[in-house]
Amino acid sequence: MTKKYEKYCKERREQLIHIMQEKHIAATVFEDTEGRRDTSIRYLTGHPGDAILIISAKGESILCPWDEHMAANMASVDKIIPFTRFSRNPINAVKAILQKLHINDGSRIDISPETPYPMFLRYVDALPGLNVLCREEGIHSDVIKLRATKDEYEIQCIKEAAIVTDMIVDKLEEGIRQGTIQTETDVALLIEKEARIAGCEGTGFESLVACPERSFGIHCFPPYTAKPFPGNGLSIVDFGVKKEGYTSDLTITFVSGNITEEQEKQLQLIQKAYDEGLKYYNPLVPVKLAATKVNDLFTKAKKTMPHSLGHGVGLEAHEYPVIRSSVSSEDIFLPGMVVTLEPGLYDPELGGCRLENDILITETGNQVLTKSRIIRI
């Protein structure tokens, strides 16, 4: 059965193989397992996880999944070899597959820079004659940058996730106004329920729901409680939903009850910062320029935003690029990127507020995919 993402996975692997050939890498090893997740396996094959993937510079791809039945149903790859054939030992699996691929002595093998040092030494001991590379700027870094620019299948998945996200926001507002949502937990459970009903895989990350007494945190802890919501003041809800593995990421601010003049100024400043930042979310513009412009605006108001202006989204909620003023000028917005724009301010007395939308960079400008807003109850 042909999978709808099959041709895209093949095209992504072809891009990767070209890079490997240019850098004289004979094979690249990807490993997605508990404690060391790597969504690049899904990016390259469509398989959702718990597997080893080896791609050779000759163009061959072999997947070694924990669950062979799921792989047979979901993976787009040249060959599948069950993990059980290797006594469920990743070192044995990699060694045997490299032999099967006829990787010659002296060849360069790239493994993830996230590999723990003891595991790296085990690879070196098990693969005598091969040059095992474990580097920050290796092939895995190249894949992260490939993933930053989405193909049409990925963009469609994120757009579908965005539609569901906006629908959930409308239901949240309706439920709060009608009194059916009364706690942070009510908010989180509605998000999860509606995501599943809409055919999503679930939430893209654990939803963050913070009533006024907790909204001063960038990422509130714990993520949500049984406290009343929205309460009196500024509240934040940050969530996303996954469609075919791809997540949205949106933050809305609820305003309820009587707020002070200082709180109103903070809200207006956030809206102004969002509008200013969006002007620079255009193709070939350095990402640091958008962040610098927003930081300058906050500085003039004697405020500081304690996080980046945004980040890429895709198979993970936080991907390359990071949009902050300290990054390289070589990091630019490119057509096909989906990135967040999320100015935020947080104060223990005033509370926090943040606006976050997902922005698609197009050939001529940008398209705002989600509809974050300040909701006044």
Place of tokens 């963050």: 208
Which among 147, 176, 195 is the end of a domain?
A: 147
CA dihedral of residues 325, 360, 202, 234 (deg, nearest 10): 60
- Number of Cβ within 10 Å of residue 87's Cβ equals 8
Q: Is residue 243 in some structural domain? A: yes
What residue numbers bound the domain in which 100 lies?
Answer: 6-147
- Cβ atoms of residues 67 and 50 within 8 Å: yes
Same domain, 91 and 185: no
pLDDT per residue as tens, the chain (377 positions): 568 999 999 999 999 999 999 999 999 999 999 889 999 999 999 999 899 999 999 999 999 999 999 999 999 999 999 999 999 999 999 999 999 999 989 999 999 999 999 999 999 999 999 999 999 999 999 999 999 999 999 999 999 999 999 999 999 999 999 999 999 999 999 999 999 999 999 999 999 999 999 999 999 999 999 999 999 999 999 999 999 999 999 999 999 999 999 999 999 999 999 999 999 999 999 999 999 999 999 999 999 999 999 999 999 999 999 999 999 999 999 999 999 999 999 999 999 999 999 999 999 999 999 999 999 99
Q: Write down the residue that tokens 């989405």 correspond to.
A: 150
Q: Examine residue 49 and state whether it is found in any structural domain, yes or no.
A: yes
Total of domains in the chain: 2
Contact 291, 308 (CB under 8 A): yes
CATH code of 59's domain: 3.40.350.10
In a domain, 237, yes or no: yes
Query: Are 82 and 181 contained in the same domain?
Result: no
Q: Examine the domain organization and report whether 228 and 367 are in the same domain.
A: yes
- My answer on whether 98 and 213 are in the same domain is no
| DSSP annotation string for 271-296 | HHHHHHHHTT-STT-BHHHHHHHHHH
Last residue of a domain, one of 128, 147, 166: 147
CA torsion, ordered 197, 202, 207, 209, to nearest 10 deg: 10
The residue count of the chain comes to 377
- Tell me the C-alpha distance between 102 and 60, whole Å: 11
